Amino acid sequence: MSGHNESILREPLITGNNITYAKITDDILTPVENKPNKAWWIGFIVSALGALLWVVAVSYTFWNGIGAWGLNKTVGWAWDITGFVWWVGIGHAGTLISAVLLLFRQNWRNSINRSAEAMTIFAVICAATYVVSHMGRPWLAYWVLPLPNQFGSLWVNFNSPLVWDMFAISTYFSVSLLFWYTGLLPDIATIRDRAVGVKRKVYTVLSFGWTGNVKTWQRFEAVSLILAGISTPLVLSVHTIVSMDFATSVIPGWHTTIFPPYFVAGAIFSGFAMVLTLLLVARKVLGLENYITMFHIESMNKIIILTGSIVGVAYLTEFFIAWYSGSEYEQYAFINRSTGPYWWAYWMMMTCNVISPQLLWFKKIRTSIPATWILSIVVNIGMWFERFVIIVTSLHRDYLPSSWAMFYPTWVDVSVFVGSIGLFFTLFLLFLRVLPSIAIAEVKLLLKSASEQAKLELIKDGHLEKEQVKEYVESLEKFDSVKQEEYAKI
């Protein structure tokens, strides 16, 4: 940081003038230290009603059993596992941002990692509720654990991907929680040292006694790096194992070796879309435009094009391999997906995941906030349909034509899903109110090197190459938070 200037060719990560360390703290803590505004209340009430619907639907399921859902003897897995995979996938972007981008030293992660990690945790909670509620007898949920028991001392089947999944999801959840909370400690201490009364007492307990001395900070960075190093293979393993729930079976359409990389790419794809859905609104409502800039939005959009294209290639490869395998069941499964009774779901998935994200190749679109926001929602819809297509279309026409069936969700299926979205947003909105939505300490690190004002100083010093300055000023044109007049005279 000190004595080293970042290249002028890099776009700024903090925009605005007169940004000081104190202003960063003030700006980020505004929602935590003040009463919520109307927008927050409206969002919270709507989400809380959604969460209530979830409570009702899940309780109804517990009371009546899985028969409350639209499952039948042919389609024994439908919206539950679709919702589960969808939520787990969404969670992956948080770990990707906090771990993988840290390993690659991508400084733009600093202002989005906190909320993305929070999103990971809430998404995994939503996913885990599906696991429990689909069990039928949730009070026996502990049977998935390898516990010695009195039923003949049988252990769980360690050869089963569902058991691997239990290990993967619970490890993922607890490691993400640790990573997130450890990163939060310095920021909780910041709130604590500014608060009074009961609030100070609460944040004192939560801050674990953080003071920010040299050794703690130095170890903190070591811990973050090691956690990032172990979380990276962890996040890849989690969705790999989720995909093995399908890939190790012998159902045509599921039994493919492409599933692990394809699921991981899809998870990152949908996760980044959800990060954008949340942050584009949060940045506006909370006034964080100077910290979550157009550069961040554009970078995330670039990741969406990349992963969306990987997913597209995977769809085509799957289709090609089905034909090339010469297996008539495999071929039928794919022809049925695209032209059978669920053709609309298949083409919905293709349009939302493969075709529409290609619009992001246009700079105008990927730097437009409304367009990005709409596309991020389209991607989320598409990724839900992807899981639905994989699961339901592969099951609904099995080897025995007399048992072919369609799946029709009941109100309980729909309510559990819609309710889980409500639960997710309720948790996220509460998070915005009680914890800083941006990693304050990490953003402060960028102030002296990667901020717009630091770069403006460099330009004013006049030791830079003219073409480089020109390119930099041109790159600022897309920023909605930069005052363009200031650069008119340069």
Are the CB atoms for 26 and 440 separated by under 8 Å?
no
Are the CB atoms for 168 and 237 separated by under 8 Å?
yes
Rg of the chain in Å (alpha carbons): 24
DSSP single-letter state for residue 437:
S
Indicate which single residue of 146, 149, 411, 480 sits in contact with another protein (rule: CB under 8 A): 146
Decide if residue 143 touches another protein (CB under 8 A).
Answer: no
Least distance CB 88 / another protein (angstroms) = 14
Which among 106, 112, 95 is positioned nearest to 171, based on CA atoms?
95
Which among 441, 421, 384 is positioned nearest to 183, based on CA atoms?
441
Closer CB to another protein, residue 200 or residue 302? 200
Q: Which tokens belong to 30?
A: 């505004």
Given CA atoms 102, 242, 248, 418 in this order, what sign does their dihedral have?
Answer: negative
Least distance CB 175 / another protein (angstroms) = 4
Touching another protein, residues 261-300 (CB under 8 A): none
Decide if residue 21 touches another protein (CB under 8 A).
Answer: yes
Site string for another protein, 191-210 (x = CB under 8 A): -xxx-----x---xxxxxxx
Indicate which single residue of 38, 215, 463, 466 sits in contact with another protein (rule: CB under 8 A): 215
Decide if residue 226 touches another protein (CB under 8 A).
Answer: yes
Using CB under 8 A as the binding criterion, the count of chain residues that bind another protein stands at 69
Decide if residue 155 touches another protein (CB under 8 A).
Answer: yes
Least distance CB 210 / another protein (angstroms) = 7
Find the part of the chain contacting another protein (CB under 8 A) among 69-77, 221-229, 282-290, 310-318.
221-229
* 65 φψ region: left (φ > 0), alpha (ψ -120 to 50), beta (else): left
Rounded Cα gap, residues 206 and 193, in angstroms: 12
SS3 (DSSP) at 293: coil
Decide if residue 189 touches another protein (CB under 8 A).
Answer: yes
Least distance CB 319 / another protein (angstroms) = 28
Decide if residue 37 touches another protein (CB under 8 A).
Answer: no
Are the CB atoms for 14 and 481 separated by under 8 Å?
no
**For residue 450, what are the CA distances in angstroms to 21, 98, 191, 291?**
14, 19, 25, 11
**For residue 68, what are the CA distances in angstroms to 74, 130, 181, 228, 261?**
16, 14, 38, 42, 34
Closer CB to another protein, residue 136 or residue 146? 146
Closer CB to another protein, residue 192 or residue 296? 192
Which among 181, 31, 40 is positioned nearest to 118, based on CA atoms?
181
Footprint of another protein on this chain (CB under 8 A)? 1-3, 20-22, 25, 146, 153-155, 157-159, 161, 163-164, 167-168, 171, 174-175, 178-179, 182, 185-186, 189-190, 192-194, 200, 204-223, 226-227, 230-231, 233-234, 237, 240-241, 244, 440-442, 444-445, 448
